[in-house]
Amino acid sequence: MQYKLDEKTKQQLQQIWQQVETKLAVTSDRIKTNMPYIAVKHRYADIGHQQLTWWTNGFWAGILWQMYHATQESKYLKYARQIETDLDQALAQFDDLDHDVGFVWLNAAVADYRMTANPAAKQRGLRAATILAGRYNPAGGFLVAWNGPEQQGQVIVDCFMNLSLLYWASEVTKDPRFAAIATQHAQTATAALLRPDGSSNHIAVFDPKSGELQTTLGGQGYGQGSAWARGQAWVIYGLTLAFCHNHQPQYLDQAKQAANFFIANVALNDYVSVIDFRAPADPVYYDTTATAITICGLLELVKWLPEAEGRFYLQAALKMFMALTTKFCDFDIDHDELLTKGSAKYHRATDREVPIIYGDAFYVEALLRLLDLDLSIY
Contacts of 191 (CB under 8 A, 6+ apart): none
Contacts of 347 (CB under 8 A, 6+ apart): 222
Dist. CA 245–CA 259, nearest whole Å: 19
Which is it for strands 154-156 and 203-206: parallel, antiparallel or unpaired? antiparallel
Catalytic residue among 86, 100, 112, 276, which?
100
Where do runs of H (alpha helix) occur along the chain?
Answer: 7-31, 59-71, 74-86, 88-92, 101-105, 111-116, 119-133, 163-173, 176-193, 229-246, 249-266, 288-303, 307-328, 357-370
Contacts of 224 (CB under 8 A, 6+ apart): 216, 217, 218
Q: Is 195 helix (H, G, I), strand (E, B) or coil?
A: coil
Q: Contact at 8 Å (CB) between 212 and 140?
A: yes
DSSP string, 3-45: ----HHHHHHHHHHHHHHHHHHHHHHHHHTT--EEEEETTEEE
Q: For this structure, is 95 an active site residue?
A: no
Give the closest residue to 57 by CA, choosing from 23, 90, 98.
90
CB-neighbour burial class of residue 18 (10 A; exposed 0-12, middle 13-18, buried 19+): exposed
Give the closest residue to 124 by CA, choosing from 169, 179, 175.
169
Q: Contact at 8 Å (CB) between 216 and 228?
A: no
- Sign of torsion, CA 135 141 144 148? negative
Amino acid at position 207, single letter: D
Dist. CA 35–CA 49, nearest whole Å: 8
Q: For this structure, is 334 an active site residue?
A: no
Catalytic residue among 98, 112, 158, 287, which?
158
Amino acid at position 250, single letter: Q
Q: Contact at 8 Å (CB) between 277 and 199?
A: yes
Residues annotated catalytic, as ranges: 100, 158
